[in-house]
C-alpha cells in the first residue's frame, strides 16, 4: 500500500512538471520576481500621484482644477502613451504574480506532511488573493471612469461631477473603503518585498523599511479615502 501511494505521488509530481514545461514559458523564477518588484515600484509611485490628483476634488471651485487636470490627462499625447505603459505594467504585474504562485505550487504539488508554523506576515500569504481582488475592484472603477473617458461605455465626462455622484452613494462609498483596505494590505507587504527582491533589504535596516512601507501605504490609502469620506458626508 505504501509503495502504491509512493508511485502515485511520483506520477502526480511528474505530470505537474510536464504541464509546467509545456504550458508556461521558461523564465527563471528570480527574473519573474525582479520584474514583479520593479513593476511594483512603478505602480506604487503612480498610486501616490493618483491619490494626490484626487485631492483636487475637495477644492471648493466647482471642479475647475480637477476637470482641467482630467482634460490634460485625456488630451496630452505623452500622457496617452504613458497610460498604455501603465496599463501594461499593471497587467504584467498581475500575470507574473499569479504565474509565480502557480509555478511555486506546481513545484510542490504536495504540502509538507507536518504543517510548519511560519512567521510570514499574513499579508504575504494573501498577496495573490488581494491582488486578484484589486483587479476585480479596478474593473468596476474603470467602468465608472477610464472606460467612459476612452468611449467604451456611456457616462458623464465631467469627472468631478461623476466622482462626487458616485462617492455620495452609500454602498459605493463603502465598497471603495473596503477596496482601499485591500490595497493597504497589498502595499504594506509589497513595499518590503520589493526591497527584499531587489537585494536592498537587510536585517540592520529591515525594520525601518517595513515601517516606511506601512507609513507609505497608509498615507496613500488615506489620501484616497479622505476624498470619499468628505464627499460622502458633504451630501448628508
- Which alpha helices (H) appear in 76-205, and where do they start and end? 77-107, 122-125, 127-144, 146-149, 159-167, 170-197
| 82-91 residue pLDDT tens | 888 888 887 8
Query: Would residue 15 count as lying in a domain?
Result: no
- What's the burial of 193, exposed, middle or buried (CB within 10 Å: 0-12/13-18/19+)? buried
Map residue 200 onto helix, strand or coil: coil
Query: Would residue 204 count as lying in a domain?
Result: yes
CATH code of the domain containing 138: 1.20.1300.10
What is the radius of gyration, based on Cα positions, of the chain?
A: 22
Better-predicted residue by pLDDT, 148 or 66: 66
User: What is the band of 27 on the pLDDT scale with cuts at 50, 70, 90?
Assistant: low
Query: Would residue 193 count as lying in a domain?
Result: yes
Better-predicted residue by pLDDT, 197 or 158: 158
| 153-190 residue pLDDT tens | 888 888 899 999 999 999 999 999 999 999 999 898 88
Query: Would residue 12 count as lying in a domain?
Result: no
Alpha-carbon span 181 to 27, nearest angstrom:
33
- DSSP letter (8 states) at residue 55: G
Residues 6+ apart with CB under 8 A from 164: 57, 63, 231, 235
| 110-160 residue pLDDT tens | 555 555 554 555 555 677 778 788 888 888 888 888 888 878 888 888 889
Contact in structure between 34 and 125 (CB atoms under 8 Å): no
Range of the domain at 200: 28-110+118-234
- The rounded percent of the chain whose pLDDT value lies above 90 is 31
Map residue 139 onto helix, strand or coil: helix
Query: Would residue 13 count as lying in a domain?
Result: no
Of the candidates 81, 99, 92, the residue with the CA atom closest to the CA atom of residue 40 = 92
Residue 82: C-alpha distances to residues 51, 91, 93, 157 (Å): 17, 14, 16, 21
- DSSP letter (8 states) at residue 126: T
Query: Would residue 23 count as lying in a domain?
Result: no
Q: Of 130-139, 207-216, 222-231, where does the model show the most confidence?
A: 222-231
Contact in structure between 60 and 230 (CB atoms under 8 Å): no
Question: Does pLDDT of 65 surpass 90?
Answer: yes
Residues 6+ apart with CB under 8 A from 41: 194
How many folded domains does the chain comprise?
1
Query: Would residue 210 count as lying in a domain?
Result: yes
Q: What pLDDT is stored for residue 111 in this prediction?
A: 53
Question: Does pLDDT of 41 surpass 90?
Answer: no
- The rounded percent of the chain whose pLDDT value lies above 70 is 77
Query: Would residue 17 count as lying in a domain?
Result: no
Amino acid at each position: 500500500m505504501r509503495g502504491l501511494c509512493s508511485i502515485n505521488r511520483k506520477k502526480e509530481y511528474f505530470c505537474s512538471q510536464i504541464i509546467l514545461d509545456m504550458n508556461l514559458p521558461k523564465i527563471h523564477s528570480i527574473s519573474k520576481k525582479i520584474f514583479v518588484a520593479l513593476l511594483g515600484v512603478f505602480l506604487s509611485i503612480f498610486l501616490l500621484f493618483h491619490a494626490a490628483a484626487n485631492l483636487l476634488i475637495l477644492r471648493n471651485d466647482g471642479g475647475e482644477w480637477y476637470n482641467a487636470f482630467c482634460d490634460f490627462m485625456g488630451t496630452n499625447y505623452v500622457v496617452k502613451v504613458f497610460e498604455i505603459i501603465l496599463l501594461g505594467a499593471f497587467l504584467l504585474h498581475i500575470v507574473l504574480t499569479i504565474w509565480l504562485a502557480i509555478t511555486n505550487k506546481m513545484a510542490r504539488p504536495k504540502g509538507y506532511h507536518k504543517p510548519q508554523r511560519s512567521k510570514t506576515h499574513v499579508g504575504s500569504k494573501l498577496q495573490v488573493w488581494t491582488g486578484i481582488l484589486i483587479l476585480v475592484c479596478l474593473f468596476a472603477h474603470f467602468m465608472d471612469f477610464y472606460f467612459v473617458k476612452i468611449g467604451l461605455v456611456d457616462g458623464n465626462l465631467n469627472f468631478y461631477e461623476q466622482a462626487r455622484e458616485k462617492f455620495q452613494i452609500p454602498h459605493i462609498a463603502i465598497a471603495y473603503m473596503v477596496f482601499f483596505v485591500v490595497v493597504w494590505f497589498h502595499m504594506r507587504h509589497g513595499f518590503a518585498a520589493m526591497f527584499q527582491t531587489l537585494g536592498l533589504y537587510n536585517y540592520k535596516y529591515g525594520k525601518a523599511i517595513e515601517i516606511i512601507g506601512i507609513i507609505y501605504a497608509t498615507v496613500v490609502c488615506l489620501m484616497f479615502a479622505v476624498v470619499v469620506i468628505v464627499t460622502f458626508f458633504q451630501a448628508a
